[in-house]
Amino acid sequence: MHNWLLLLSFSALLVGAFLLRKLWLGAFLGSIILVIGKLLFTEGEILLPLANGAIISVELILLLFGAYFFYNTLSSQNHFGDFIKSSSAFSSRLTVAIMLCWFLGSFMEGIAGFGIPAMLIAPLMLAVGYRPLTSVVLPLAADTTAVTFGALGTPFKVGLDIYSSSPEVQLSVFINLLPALLVPLGLAWLYSQTEQKKIAWKNEWRMLLLAGICFAVPYGIVGFFSVEYPSVAAGLIGMIPFVWFSVPKRERPPSGVWLTTFYPYLIFVALLLSAKYMFGSVEVSLGENSKAISLYQPGLIFIAAALIYLLTVSQKHFFAYSIKQAKGTISRLILPIFTILFLVLFAQLLRQSLAWSAEQLFAEASAITSLVVVPMAGILGCFTAGSATMSVLLFSGSVMTLFPTGDPLYLRISLLVTGAAIGNAVSFQNIVMVQSVVTQPVSTSEVLLKNLKFLLIYLAVVFIEGVVISYLFT
């Protein structure tokens, strides 16, 4: 019965998203099907998933409000004017896209996670002059490899209870090195599709290869010794040689422009790290098995960073102006808020059935087919829950139960983490969150289909690597 519930609920979700073009309606119908199915057929838990879904929704809605309030505040002050002028001097707009999405986005992922990187990069892309579709698709696609370690190692620390370098961590790094070299090429291909421009591959391939190398080297070195900083190092350290060698000196923006443009982001990162250190482990529990409410809320930090920024620019009538921005933000986000609510409730209601069905599938899979089934489960978990960490939590128990201790288990866990990471690019929740901070309409189905092609190529590379590694282990 669980398989039928999965099929019917997912069908309702996809019909709403693609045929009716109303994602909120698909998520609502899918949730209704799951509630009725659990009540009549499976005797599954309903109240707890709904309560947890409500808590998660409030946190995500707060994050969504904070991120848009932050960008809206900067934009209202024409904050990006100098950067827009400087970026126009770049002979290759593709280079700018790689710099923002691949390096800056990966750095933000390593620091913040929670869907924040793409929510920060997308409006910046739009401000610089990229099309709305490009501004949503590229940041989501680029935020994949870095998600293997997420915010300071969260997928491993929370999802697998791994706090230091281990075979699972090192193998995950190794598996993602080749894709990391290829991701810039994939981003260039997506760029050509969304911007509808031909790529001069003869001129750009060196820059794209350099982008992959500059990311992969610090990612690989740091990843073999640390579970927290590979993505941070890849984004921050990798950007320096990339800009130095790929951007002609005459085109590089002055250091003052970089500082002027990104100091609000630095304020945000400083507040985020401070809050994570002080409040990251402080939680309030409402009951047994219920979702704990954390005092560490990135949405509030976005709001605080925006208010501090307003003080730095000496905005007159500070309180009245802030309230005006808040009202404008709320009016812009009414539909996304309901969409996020129904998507989260759908994901929470689906979790138990999804875990049971995946366990059956793992048990029936052969050694070779498991190499594609396990990462696909990771993708599906992230697609549903909107979180790589939640996907790893959802399926890691089944993987550990069905595969013996040692190399086969390490490989499957690494594939699960990788699948969950790349699923970030096609998660409906992530797409809605990023769409909401882009001021022009973007089709959800178009974003999903573009990034799905990118994801399948990534998955194919990982599967081939898995087959080779599995053969070497045996």
Mean pLDDT of residues grouped by 10 in the chain (474 residues)? 76 86 88 84 74 86 86 83 76 88 90 80 88 94 92 84 86 93 95 91 90 95 89 90 85 77 86 84 75 84 90 75 79 84 87 79 81 90 86 84 73 92 91 84 88 94 91 73
DSSP 8-state symbol, 289: T
Q: CA–CA separation, 291 vs 312, rounded Å? A: 37
> Between the CA of residue 12 and those of 6, 18, 22, 26, 346, what are the distances in Å?
10, 10, 11, 5, 11
Q: Tokens in use for 24?
A: 């909120």
Q: What is the number of other CB atoms lying within 10 angstroms of the CB of residue 278?
A: 11
pLDDT of amino acid 470:
83
Q: CA–CA separation, 293 vs 92, rounded Å? A: 45
What are the sequence ranges of the domains in the chain?
45-281+292-473
Mean pLDDT for the chain? 86
pLDDT of amino acid 53:
85
**Helix, strand and coil in the chain, % to nearest 5:** 80, 0, 20
- Over residues 10-27, the pLDDT tens digits come to 889 888 888 888 888 999
16, 24 contact by CB (below 8 A):
yes
pLDDT of amino acid 101:
93
SS3 277: helix
pLDDT of amino acid 325:
76
Ramachandran class of 366: left when φ > 0, alpha when ψ lies in -120 to 50, beta otherwise? beta
pLDDT of amino acid 4:
75
Q: CA–CA separation, 223 vs 471, rounded Å? A: 24
Beta bridge partners of residue 293, listed in sequence order: 284
Q: Tokens in use for 35?
A: 């509630």
Q: Give me the torsion for CA of 184, 188, 189, 193, rounded to 10°.
A: 140
Q: What is the number of other CB atoms lying within 10 angstroms of the CB of residue 350?
A: 25
Beta bridge partners of residue 294, listed in sequence order: 283
Q: Tokens in use for 141?
A: 């696609």
pLDDT of amino acid 241:
92
106, 231 contact by CB (below 8 A):
yes
Helices (H), 38-166: 47-76, 81-87, 93-98, 105-111, 116-128, 132-142, 154-157
Q: CA–CA separation, 12 vs 14, rounded Å? A: 6
